[in-house]
Structures are given as structure tokens and as C-alpha cells.
Structure 1
Amino acid sequence: MKTSRDTTLALTSDYKQFVTDLKSRIASARLSAARHVNRELVTLYWDIGQGIVERQKTLGWGESVVELVAADLKHAFPDMQGFSPQNVWRMRQLFLDHSSDDFLSQAVRELPKSNKHPFLRQPVADSPRDAGNRKSEVLSQAVRELVAAVPWGHHANVLAKLTAPAARLWYLRATASFGWSRNVLLNQIKAGAYERAVTEKKTHNF
């Protein structure tokens, strides 16, 4: 039960600032937790898609395996959403789209050559083949991390509609950098944000 003293305390500037700081901290923690959950979820979906694709190549499994995997996962985890046949097909496509030669070629030109992802920095002792394999592995991991930074709904409902690797990479990076919601991303695509950025870049190069 509140007393007059409690009411007086609630009106002080120190208390108001304290509560404001707490609200900000809670909101930040919730956002951080949501991002972590999303990253883990998209990484899981990537791994499922990769596993299906690799076994189709090495073991000769047909397309029906996607439906089988979806049914078995749904049976094993009935309370977990995301294992519909349509969604498992999207997981497979997610991996294929972002591991294709065209997409990786675009990524190696566009992604920052930082210490974290030193695509073009080869140890001198490596043979050309070893160096090439290492660069390919690092690049693939960097793409995987970028993909995981974008919510699954963005991938499934918006980015999947983009066929050009350069455009998909640009919107991936922008979404990860600016935290675009799905609606903002969709509006940016409709407004031709990527095309405008390319045009402006060409103009500035003259």
C-alpha cells in the first residue's frame, strides 16, 4: 500500500531518472535477447538447409527428403513452429542462395576486409590451394554470420524475392546495419533504394 512518503518519492527527479534508466536498460536487454534468439534461429535454419543440400549431393537424395525432414522435425518438436514443409524448403533455398558462386563472388568484393574476415590475406606458408580453401571457408563463414544478423521473416518474405546477388547482399547489409523492420525493408525495395545507391555511387565516381 502506497503511503504519502511513497508518493512524494515518486515525484522526485532522482526517482524519475532512476525509473527512466531502468526502463532503458530493460528495453535494451529485451532487444539484445531478441537479437540473440533470432541469430540462433537463422543459424539453425541455415544448418538445416545446408545439411539437406549436402546430403542431396553426396547421397543422391531426391527432393522428397525435404518433406520427410519437415514431417519428422514437426513430430519430434510439436510445440516448435517453423518446421512446415514450406519453411524447410525456404531453409534449403536460404543456403543455396547465399552459398552460390555468384553470391560469394559479390560478397568478396563488397564485405569489409577486416581482421575478423581477412578474405584476401593469405599466410605466406600456405600453398595456393590451401590459401584458396581457407579464404573460401572464411568468406562462407562471414556470409553465414551476415545472414544470421537478419530476422528470418525478412529472409522468407522479402529477400527471397530478390534474384540479383548484388541487390540481395546490399539489402542484407543495410538491414543488419540499420535494424530495418520487415515493412521498412519492403518499402526500401519498392522504392529502389539499391538502384539509387548504385546510381549515386557511379555519379560520385565521375
Structure 2
Amino acid sequence: MAILRSRYEAAALANKELLKLYFGIGQYVSFHSRNKNWGNGAINSISNLLQQELHGVRGFSATNIKNMRLFYEGWEFMQPFLIDEKEPLFQFSEEELYQQLPSAELKNTNRQLSTDELDGSFVIRQLPTDELQNEFFGLFLKNGFTHHITILNNTENIEERMFYIQKTAMEFWNTTTLKHHLKSNLYQRQGKLAHNFQSTLSERHFKEKAIMAFKDEMLLDFINIEDADEEPNERVLEQAIVQNIKKFIMALGAEYSFIGNQHRLIIEDEEYFIDLLFFNRQIQSLVAIELKKGKFKAEYVGKMNLYLSALDEMVKQPHENPSIGIILCKEKNNKIVEFAFRDTSKPMGVVTYKTYNDLPEAYKNILPNTEMLKGLL
């Protein structure tokens, strides 16, 4: 354990220093390129010079230098944490740079840049409190540069970026998982689940965690029905999910463990089967998922209520929280869901899903079709 801890700490320190270096380079490149001190070819020339001087060192292509600029401009308010104003981490020599860059790629080369001018060109925004700043900075440093660039290229505002930074760091997303959640608009859908948790869960922290543990809609782009007009029935949908359980858990969210499909319950000598049963470690609850084709119907609630009562009495461990039920269907009417849940005693929610066939044409072309997959196999 000591060896693993030491290696992890070394990797975390290396990542921190790399982010600080890239942020410093990004600040410098942003100032000169945005203020028109450089021509269009300056970044390419800098890349070539760096690669000549640092032979064999990767990460300084023109594209990556532009990503460093994006990194700085996207997280400009993090400057007090990442750059020591008394001892700058990274600084080009103006005279050396101007001597090496072709004159056509420089503008206003005779103008000296003052410290006041440089400092005055940036707006430093602060997070509300020191505690929040330090907490976010810790999560910020746990993300690799590729994660940062992926987030910056696919988000529109600072709140959304902070959301993905926190989720990626806390749930250890790799870039594939991060791209999946960005593509499925997790930020917009998080916490918007149609549910009855407010009336059925009494413990406030558990209630808040439960609301954030589920999405309003799931993207099941691994399910491709050959007939685009045909909607898969429950059994076909279940088989496709079980065959792609890793992808389904990725779509479902973090901290889920798959217990099984067609989970058998015996109540007074009668058998009942839950389509999919999971355990969520974060909320410490069993999660029963019922698969339904078409629109949500009010009668689905009664059966789910039965399943949850049986799970709480016969399966749930004493230290675990109450079981939660999710009805996964193609469509829902929120008013019907509200009325159906109004007098129920068990926590449950309704989630809709989209399959490959529901994706816009532009997204479909990104994925291989059935014939292409057959050919590859």
C-alpha cells in the first residue's frame, strides 16, 4: 500500500506541475495572440522552435499550444492558484523570441509590454469562499490536461465546466466515460428526474444524494434495432442491456454494481421477477429497474411498489437505505407520473431512454452500423 500511495502521490504532483506549466504558457500565448502582437504563423513557429530546442519532448505541437491557450482562457479565474506572480513559472524572453520569429509573424515588435499592462488585461474572478476555492482546486488538479480540454471544448459556461470537473475527479472517469456523459448532456439532465423522493424519503442528505444519483433520460446508443420503425419489447431491451452491461452502467452513472437480471422474489409461494437489480454504493441502496416499451402507464407503479416492499423486507441489509425503483420507458407525461406517485409510500422515479435509432443522422454516422460491425468481426 505504501508503494502504491507513493506512486499515486508522485503522479498527482507531476500532473499538478504539468497543469501549471501549460497554464503559464497558455497565459503568455493568449496575451500576445489575442492582442495582435503576433501574426497568424507565430504559434507554428514557436512550436517548431520548442521542438528543435527540446528534441524528443512531446506535447508542444501547434495544436497543443493552442489547447494551452484554451486551457488558460477557460480557467482564467484559477490564475491565483496556478501562477506565482512573484516567481512566474513560465516566461519567454521577449528579445530572444523576437530574434527567432520571422518578422512577418510579429506585429508591434518595438513596443515594450509593461507589468501593469499585462496584469490589467486579465479579469480574476473568485469562487465565493476560501473553503470552496480550495475544495474545487483540489478536484481541478486531479483531472489530466486531456480531460480539461475535452470539457472546455464541449461546455458553454463555468457552472457546467465545474460540474464535469468535480464528477470526473470524484468518480474517476476516463476520457471515454467523460465524452459519453458530455454527449448525453448529463449536466442539463442531472437532478431533473421525475420522482417522489420528497414525500417518501425523510433523511435530507440521503434524499439529496438520491435525486442526484439518477438522470431524467438515458442514452442507450449501443442498442440498434435493424427495423428503425420497430420499438424493442422489454425482453429484447433487457437482453441488449445485459450483453452490454458495462456500457449500460456507464450510461446509468457511477457507483453502480450489477446484481442480476430477472431477479427472483418469492412472496407467499408466488414468483415475481425484477428485470434488472443493482446496488448503488454512493447512496447505499438497492435499485430495481423495470423496463417498459412505449409510454409510462400508471399501473406500472403498483408492481414497482410491491417489488420495493419485498426487497426492503427480504433482501435489504440492516445498514442499507431503503430500496429505490426506476421505471425505464420510452416516453412519459410528467403530470401522469405526478398523479401516479402522489399516494405511494416507496421511493421511485421514471427515466426515459433513447436508442441508436433515435439519434439524429449526424450522430448516427459517427457510429459503425450493423453491417460494418459484421464486416469487422
Q: TM-score, normalised by structure 2?
A: 0.35
Q: CA deviation at 1:47?
A: 0.6
Other structure's SS at 2:18 match: helix
Instruction: Work out the number of aligned pairs and report it.
Output: 150
> Are the counterparts in 2 of residues 43 and 148 from structure 1 also a CA contact under 8 Å?
no
Partner of 1:133: none
* 1: CA distance, partners of 2:189 / 2:128: 21
The partner residue of 2:130 within 89, 108, 114 is 114
* 2: CA distance, partners of 1:64 / 1:198: 46
* 1: CA distance, partners of 2:136 / 2:50: 26
* 2: CA distance, partners of 1:145 / 1:47: 18
More helix by share: 1
* 2: CA distance, partners of 1:162 / 1:77: 32
Partner of 1:155: 148
Q: CA deviation at 1:55?
A: 2.7
- Determine which structure has more spread, i.e. the larger CA radius of gyration: 2
* 1: CA distance, partners of 2:137 / 2:25: 13
Other structure's SS at 2:72 match: helix
* 1: CA distance, partners of 2:132 / 2:186: 28
The partner residue of 1:192 within 182, 185, 194 is 185
More strand by share: 2
Q: CA deviation at 1:82?
A: 0.1
| 1:127-164 Cα shifts (integer Å, max 9, x gaps) | xxxxxxxxxxxxxxx987764431012123x2133131
Summarize the Cα distance change of 1:160–1:76 in structure 2 as closer, same or farther, 3 Å threshold: same
The partner residue of 1:77 within 54, 57, 68 is 54
| 1:150-184 Cα shifts (integer Å, max 9, x gaps) | 1012123x213313113222101222333322222
Paired residue type of 2:15: N
1:54-203 alignment runs, 5 A limit = 54-57=31-34, 60-99=37-76, 111=127, 113-115=129-131, 117=133, 147-156=140-149, 158-165=150-157, 166-197=159-190, 199=192
* 1: CA distance, partners of 2:141 / 2:18: 8
> Are the counterparts in 2 of residues 149 and 176 from structure 1 also a CA contact under 8 Å?
yes
Kindly indicate whether residue 61 of structure 2 is the aligned counterpart of residue 45 of structure 1.
no
Deviates more, 1:164-173 or 1:185-194: 185-194
Q: CA deviation at 1:71?
A: 1.2
Kindly indicate whether residue 34 of structure 2 is the aligned counterpart of residue 28 of structure 1.
no
Q: CA deviation at 1:77?
A: 0.9
* 1: CA distance, partners of 2:29 / 2:191: 35
* 2: CA distance, partners of 1:189 / 1:77: 35
Identity among equivalent positions (%) equals 24
Summarize the Cα distance change of 1:66–1:28 in structure 2 as closer, same or farther, 3 Å threshold: same
* 2: CA distance, partners of 1:26 / 1:35: 14
> Are the counterparts in 1 of residues 136 and 166 from structure 2 also a CA contact under 8 Å?
no
> Are the counterparts in 2 of residues 98 and 143 from structure 1 also a CA contact under 8 Å?
no
Summarize the Cα distance change of 1:190–1:163 in structure 2 as closer, same or farther, 3 Å threshold: closer
Summarize the Cα distance change of 1:63–1:170 in structure 2 as closer, same or farther, 3 Å threshold: farther
> Are the counterparts in 1 of residues 139 and 170 from structure 2 also a CA contact under 8 Å?
no
> Are the counterparts in 2 of residues 40 and 148 from structure 1 also a CA contact under 8 Å?
no
Other structure's SS at 1:48 match: helix
Q: TM-score, normalised by structure 1?
A: 0.59
> Are the counterparts in 1 of residues 29 and 69 from structure 2 also a CA contact under 8 Å?
yes
* 2: CA distance, partners of 1:47 / 1:178: 28
Summarize the Cα distance change of 1:56–1:144 in structure 2 as closer, same or farther, 3 Å threshold: farther
Paired residue type of 2:130: S
Deviates more, 1:160-169 or 1:25-34: 160-169
> Are the counterparts in 2 of residues 147 and 172 from structure 1 also a CA contact under 8 Å?
yes
Paired residue type of 1:159: I
Can you give the 5+ residue segments of structure 2 that lack an aligned partner in the other structure? Answer: 78-122, 199-207, 209-377
Can you give the 5+ residue segments of structure 1 that lack an aligned partner in the other structure? Answer: 1-23, 119-141
* 2: CA distance, partners of 1:58 / 1:145: 32
